[in-house]
A and B are shown apart, each in its own frame.
Chain A
Amino acid sequence: MDKILEVKNLRVSFNTYVGEIRAVRGVSFELRRGETLAFVGESGCGKTVTAKSILRLLPPVSAEIKAGSEILYKGENVLQMGQKRLQRYRGNEVSMIFQDPMTSLNPTMTCGQQIVEALMLHKKLSKQEAKAEAIKTLELVKIPDPEKRFSAYPHELSGGMRQRVMIAIALSCQPSILIADEPTTALDVTIQAQIIDLLKELKEKLGTAIILVTHDLGVVATLADRIQVMYAGQIVETGTAREIFYEPQHPYTWALLSSVPGLAERSKQELYSLKGTPPDLIMPLECCPFAARCEYCMKVCRQQMPQVTNVTATHNVACWLQHPHAPKVKPFYERGLSHAQQA
């Protein structure tokens, strides 16, 4: 298989004055060439931390990637790269765009300069060549009048345009992986759709693999090949987009799906709202992290960590409901009534 990225047992902690926060707790996954993988989950479930770890962008003092974690880019361990190698890797082989295009661009540099900078660094182009290349990239992300926008400052552009510039910066060196951290969250709904369409088009045109981090399942639906649902720093379910949307197995995935307007309509059901908040990540977790909020929580869930079960070759889920002893339950939205309403 042409795996280009393989993450094995990634564990990340933040050292704070209240104690160690285990933000990512043993996450493993892989990414194939040209594939789009989505990380989905509530805020604070570790998806952004996982994404940033791939580029080693976590704050060096407070964040600690635990020993035993491995991030293999084409077989090379990213965590062991030297500074020089890391700089060639960042932006050139794997690049990243961030949530808020308003703050992610340097306000005192023109958009053009910010693209040229990466091109001159990685492709060793002259200023003139880099400028020509940058304008081509701006064209690629469908910015009208790219020559003029090249010398515009970020504050002169709209939010959607800025996010396009961010994408242009990220794609300028033709990386093999693009990490998009909530790329549409800060944008207007209409602009969101445009950015998603653009990402989809670019992915097909350039064959870039994408890691899409989002809490919005609607964004994922049109773009992702595979989906990874994260909760409390762990992957609770992973599968192809089809499997996650049509045969979800984990109660947390059910909850997520039924809280998306467009998807919930399918079952003519009220929008579901998941009660409570994710567990405090300071605590060590010895049981299923979702147990406290789960409608289907069983006694065993409060005592032991569930095992990962293969539903199909591509579909894994970590839930005690997969156990042969467990009662067979259906997602509440298929029953038409939530467990809580029955009780």
Chain B
Amino acid sequence: MLRYAIKRIGYAVVTLFIVVTVTFFLMRSIPGDPLSHMARALPEQTRANYYAKYGLDKPLFTQYLMYMKNLLRGDLGESVLYPGRSVSETIAKTSPISGLVGGIALAIGFVIGITLGIIAALNKNRWPDYLVMFVAILGTTIPVFVFASLLQYFVSVKLGWLPPSGWGQPRHLVLPIIVLSFGPVASFARYLKSSMLDTLSQDYILTAQAKGLSQRDVILRHALRNSMLPIVTILAGRIVGVFTGAFVVERMFGVPGIGFYYISSINNNDYTMILGTTVFYAALFVIAQLVVDFVYMLVDPRIRIVPESR
């Protein structure tokens, strides 16, 4: 168990290291340098100062070592577009907003998706099943921005119930959360249904029934827990989905989250910002996968003993 955990953490660190390195050199391989298009108009001396400030006067490899050293201290450098704005601080300021919206969306998606999955499994081949599967297919095939536009058009423009975009009040949260939770609802419902049907056909369900447990207890105590195991494995993917979905959703609804800044830094060629945010995202996802793996180990006793079976 412990050996497996250490191995897993080791892989995560190596992965992260590779990602940071590759991203760094990719960003530096862009023709010209990060400052070229904005520093062109500056006088020679100011320009040299700028280059020195961002360390761009040193050889590439030295720059890399410097970047890695700063990274370890949590310093991702300074925005090239807005001098004085620290990338780390921007991330620290904006990511909780994304985390809040994404977290609520994921939690709602999880609860509703699981519930719908159970309903579908228990009513297999009857109308509730068909209805849930229809919603699930729509949820996986309608792109977020289409769904978001439809909601904005009907709920905000036509009905005028909620503001189409903005930030600061709780009602601004409603539409982005609905949009972001649609995908998770769909995939959790789909996966839980098939895994629940699989579990319900297992012999130990029969044992539980033969014990005299009520249908409710059989489902809640025996079937649900075992059906949730495969769900845990798709959780990491859903976390990713919510964050990448946020690129679009935050822009459309004017939510000042990290996705919003990521996209605008891309559109503005703010290289340090792009690099820093990418590193942050990569770290986030690698850690999410790690956590999900450990959660899986905790909920499935079989894996605690034989980690190699995975």
Contact = CB atoms under 8 A, between A and B. Distances in A.
State if A and B touch, Cβ cutoff 8 Å.
yes
Interface of A: 55, 57, 83, 86-92, 95-96, 98-100, 103-109, 114, 117-118, 121-122, 153, 155-156, 166, 169-170
A87 B203 contact: no
A122 B212 contact: yes
Given A104-B204, A105-B204, A106-B204, A155 B211 contact: no
- For the residues of B in contact with A, the DSSP-based class is helix
Contacts of A170: 210
6 contacts: A83-B215, A91-B213, A106-B222, A117-B213, A155-B305, A169-B211
B301 to A, nearest CB: 4
B268 interface: no
Nearest to B209: A57
Interface in B212-226: 212-215, 221-222, 225-226
A121 B209 CA distance: 12
A-B interface, 6 closest residue pairs, ranked by CB to CB distance from nearest:
A91-B212, A90-B212, A91-B211, A103-B203, A96-B210, A104-B203
B52 interface: no
B212 A153 contact: no
A108 B301 contact: yes
Given A87-B212, A106-B226, A121-B213, A166 B207 contact: yes
A156 B305 contact: yes
B286 interface: no
B302 interface: yes
Nearest to B301: A153
A155 B202 contact: no
B302 A98 contact: no
A118 B212 contact: yes
A107 B229 CA distance: 11
A118 B299 contact: no
A108 B206 contact: no
A95 B225 contact: no
A107 B204 contact: yes
Nearest to B208: A106
Contacts of B299: 108
B300 interface: yes
